[in-house]
């Protein structure tokens, strides 16, 4: 877990305000940060996530702007928001133990304020007295009747450090190793189980993966082939060329949205793992015609942008399909100026939509809708929002879309099935089921052969699973299939 290490003016060093006394015991009202804008902003982000199902990475930038937070104050608010959301399940266990009641029986505003407070106490260097006082102040603002309760709970939490609390609330490692990891590494148990299974049962490695999931990932850029060079781009933006993808640049800091290279379409933000799987499809050897490429699940357009740039260099044309209209518009923006056509259509309509003829394409990407368990690093709330019940409808769609891709590709052509999830049900099982049920005659192409030479940790093939703790990428899965007839 990344921890805040600063002495921000909104953090520990700030003297306590006295607004409450001046206002006759109420303090600022919820939604109107007046005295502690960083904590109030983090609280509002949590509220939006838990009440409105918002995504923190989408909602937080606007809240920071509204509150006029920059620099260290913005970093503090961001750390509080992301850290609290990631650790939520474990913080809740600690709060339950300290409050001696289930978190479901605590009013949501007080509950979120307590989560923020517990996070400060156990994961940051904010001094205990500042964490307690600022949390009680926040509860005064958002749930005045619970201020006394919050004070008591915070004081009880402050009696122990994180290790002591984990020893108290986590199941014993010997008796329940998965339950233990779930609590100590802040993940739901069903996800720990799924990761462990995908890693062949190795608990120590599962722990390394979970720890990597708790770190905020570095921003990766993709230097678009033919438009930018990764080494030059790295120099220009003060970043580092990526370890594996020839197009990757690791952006040390700063906001990618401000970069001229992004605004002018020379580069886009894209995880290196996503770059690798899209490039693998483009690089795989193919006999015969190689002109018609298809991206069957293209929105918002990251891989389509890279594929279209590669298609431009190779004299090919990309058809990019996306079922959601606003995402199809994002794909259009991502491929502008490149040889690509965007269709707002259901990818399963191959053979019935005249723009998606059966056997009409040489290379096809299915970047299937999935649980996204491979990118938990960048969506702090999603580990607690996702449920095992999400799997059946998603795997049905995945199999149907892969079936459509296998119908769309010509005999001898290639299909890449990709997920941003390592869950075996969404990866190997979805592939084998789609092939079996569709009765397709296919061969697996060893994906390791078309990933950069010398890349470590690619397993036994022919499919490849990338990992945050091994490759510093999202946990992207790729299966490459050649259709025989």
Ligand X SMILES: C[S@@+](CC[C@H](N)C(=O)[O-])C[C@H]1O[C@@H](n2cnc3c(N)ncnc32)[C@H](O)[C@@H]1O
Q: Report the relative pairing of strands 361-367 and 442-445 from DSSP bridges.
A: unpaired
352 in contact with ligand X (CB under 6 A): no
Active site residue 370: no
323 in contact with ligand X (CB under 6 A): yes
Cα distances (Å, whole numbers) of residue 390 to 103, 201, 332, 387:
24, 23, 29, 5
Rank residues 251 and 328 by Cβ distance to ligand X and give the closer one: 328
Stretch that binds ligand X, among 138-146, 174-182, 209-217, 321-329 (CB under 6 A): 321-329
Determine which residue in the list 271, 367, 426, 474 makes contact with ligand X, applying CB under 6 A: 367
Q: Choose, from 222, 344, 370, 420, the residue flagged as catalytic.
A: 420
Nearest to 381 by CA among 150, 161, 188: 188
> How far is 372 from 433, CA to CA, in rounded Å?
20
297 in contact with ligand X (CB under 6 A): yes
254 a known binding residue? no
265 in contact with ligand X (CB under 6 A): no
Cα distances (Å, whole numbers) of residue 363 to 227, 290, 311, 398, 485:
23, 7, 11, 18, 15
276 in contact with ligand X (CB under 6 A): no
Stretch that binds ligand X, among 23-31, 243-251, 295-303, 354-362 (CB under 6 A): 295-303
Determine which residue in the list 11, 33, 117, 299 makes contact with ligand X, applying CB under 6 A: 299
In the 8-state DSSP scheme, what is residue 216?
P
User: Contact at 8 Å (CB) between 153 and 99?
Assistant: yes
398 in contact with ligand X (CB under 6 A): no
Rank residues 324 and 432 by Cβ distance to ligand X and give the closer one: 324
Q: What DSSP string describes 368-382?
A: -----GGGTTT-TTH
367 a known binding residue? yes
Helix (H) or strand (E) holding 250: strand 248-251
> How far is 397 from 400, CA to CA, in rounded Å?
5
322 in contact with ligand X (CB under 6 A): yes
362 a known binding residue? no
Burial of 128 (0-12, 13-18, 19+ CB in 10 A): middle
308 in contact with ligand X (CB under 6 A): no
239 in contact with ligand X (CB under 6 A): no
Determine which residue in the list 303, 383, 470, 471 makes contact with ligand X, applying CB under 6 A: 303
User: Contact at 8 Å (CB) between 485 and 319?
Assistant: no
348 in contact with ligand X (CB under 6 A): yes
Write out the residues near ligand X by the rule CB under 6 A.
274, 297-303, 321-324, 327, 346-348, 367, 369, 397
Q: Which residues are catalytic?
A: 420
């Amino acid at each position: 877990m990344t921890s805040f290490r600063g002495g921000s003016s909104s953090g520990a060093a700030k003297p306590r305000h006295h607004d409450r006394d001046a206002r006759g015991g109420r303090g600022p009202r919820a939604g109107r940060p007046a005295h502690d804008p960083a904590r109030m902003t983090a609280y509002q982000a949590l509220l939006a996530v838990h009440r409105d199902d918002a995504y923190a990475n989408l909602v937080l930038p606007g809240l920071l702007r509204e509150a006029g937070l920059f620099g260290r104050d913005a970093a503090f608010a961001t750390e509080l928001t992301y850290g609290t959301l990631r650790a939520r399940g474990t913080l809740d266990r600690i709060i339950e133990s300290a409050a001696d009641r289930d978190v479901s029986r605590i009013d949501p505003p007080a509950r979120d304020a307590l989560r923020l407070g517990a996070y400060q106490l156990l994961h940051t260097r904010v001094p205990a007295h500042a964490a307690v006082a600022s949390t009680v102040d926040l509860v005064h603002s958002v749930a005045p009747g619970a201020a006394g309760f919050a004070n008591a709970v915070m004081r009880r939490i402050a009696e122990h450090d994180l290790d002591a609390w984990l020893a108290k609330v986590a199941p014993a490692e010997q008796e329940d190793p998965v339950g233990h990891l779930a609590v100590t590494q802040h993940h739901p148990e069903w996800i720990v189980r799924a990761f462990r299974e995908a890693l062949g049962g190795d608990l120590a490695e599962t722990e390394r993966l979970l720890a990597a999931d708790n770190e905020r990932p570095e921003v990766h850029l993709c230097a678009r082939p033919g438009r930018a060079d990764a080494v030059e781009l790295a120099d220009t933006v003060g970043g580092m060329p990526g370890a594996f993808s020839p197009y990757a640049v690791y952006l040390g800091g700063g906001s990618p949205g401000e970069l001229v290279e992004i605004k002018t379409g020379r580069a886009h933000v894209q995880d290196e793992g996503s770059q690798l799987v899209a490039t693998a499809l483009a690089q795989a050897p193919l006999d015969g015609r190689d002109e018609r490429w298809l991206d069957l699940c293209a929105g918002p357009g990251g891989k389509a942008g890279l594929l279209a740039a590669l298609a431009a260099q190779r004299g090919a044309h990309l058809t990019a399909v996306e079922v959601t209209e606003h995402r199809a518009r994002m794909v259009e923006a991502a491929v502008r100026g490149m040889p690509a056509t965007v269709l707002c259509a259901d990818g399963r309509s191959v053979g019935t939509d005249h723009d998606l003829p059966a056997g009409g394409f040489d290379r096809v990407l299915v970047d299937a809708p999935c649980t996204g368990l491979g990118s938990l690093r960048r969506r702090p709330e999603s580990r607690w929002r996702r449920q095992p019940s999400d799997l059946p409808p998603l795997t049905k769609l995945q199999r149907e879309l892969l079936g459509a891709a296998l119908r769309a590709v010509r005999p001898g052509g290639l299909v890449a099935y990709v997920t941003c999830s390592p869950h075996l049900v969404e990866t190997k099982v979805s592939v084998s089921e789609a092939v079996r049920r569709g009765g397709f005659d296919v061969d697996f192409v060893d994906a390791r052969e078309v990933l950069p030479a010398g890349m470590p940790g690619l397993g036994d093939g022919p499919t490849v699973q990338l990992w945050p703790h091994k490759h510093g990428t999202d946990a992207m899965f790729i299966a490459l299939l050649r259709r025989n007839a």
